[in-house]
Structure 1
Amino acid sequence: MYSGYDAGASQFAGGGFMPSPAPAGDTTGQSPKKFGSQSQTLRAVTVKQLLEGTNNTGDDQYKVDGVELQNITLVGKLVDVKQFETNLTYILDDGTGKVEIKFWLDNDEGDQVQQRLQQYRVGMYVRAHGHVRSFQNQKSVVAFNLRAITDYNEVTYHLLQCVFQHVHLTKGASSGRPPAAAAGPTTAAPAGQPAAASVPATNNNMAGGDGMSNVQRDACALFNSPDANASESGISLEQVIGSLNSKYPVTDIRAAVDFLVNEGHIYTTVDDVHFKSTAF
Structure 2
Amino acid sequence: MWNDQSVAGGGFFNSPGQFGNVTTPNQAQKSTRRASRTAPIVIRQALHCGDDGVKIWGTEIQIVSIVARVRNIRLQSTKITYTIQDITGRMRAVLWIDQEAMEQDDKATPRVQVNDYIQVFGNIKTNKGKKVMMAFKIMPITDVNAITFHYLQCIHNKVKMESDSKKVRLLGPFIFCLHMVAHQATKTCYISSINFELYPHFYKVLNQV
Superposition TM-score, scaled by structure 2 size: 0.57
Higher strand content, 1 or 2: 2
Change (3 A) 1:118 1:149: closer
Shift of 1:54: 2.7
Give unmatched runs, 5+ long, in structure 2. Answer: 7-32, 165-209
Q: Deviations over 1:17-36 (max 9, x none)?
A: xxxxxxxxxxxxxxxxxxxx
Aligned to 1:53: 49
Q: How does 1:26-41 map to 2 (within 5 A)?
A: 38-41=34-37
Q: Deviations over 1:215-255 (max 9, x none)?
A: xxxxxxxxxxxxxxxxxxxxxxxxxxxxxxxxxxxxxxxxx
- Which ranges of 4 or more aligned residues in structure 1 deviate by more than 4 Å? 112-118
Larger Rg: 1
Give unmatched runs, 5+ long, in structure 1. Answer: 1-14, 17-36, 173-280
Equivalents in 2 of 1:127, 1:112: separation in Å?
25
Letter aligned with residue 79 of structure 2 = N
Letter aligned with residue 123 of structure 2 = H
Shift of 1:90: 0.5
Shift of 1:40: 1.4
- From 155, 169, 177, give the equivalent of 2:147: 155
Change (3 A) 1:132 1:89: same
Aligned to 1:42: 38
Report the count of equivalent residues. Answer: 134
Q: How does 1:131-142 map to 2 (within 5 A)?
A: 131-142=123-134
Equivalents in 2 of 1:52, 1:164: separation in Å?
19
Superposition TM-score, scaled by structure 1 size: 0.43
Equivalents in 1 of 2:146, 2:110: separation in Å?
22
Equivalents in 2 of 1:96, 1:64: separation in Å?
18
| C-alpha RMSD of matched pairs (Å) | 2.7
- From 50, 62, 70, give the equivalent of 1:78: 70
| 1:128 maps to 2:120 | yes
Equivalents in 1 of 2:110, 2:66: separation in Å?
21
Shift of 1:145: 1.1
Shift of 1:69: 2.2
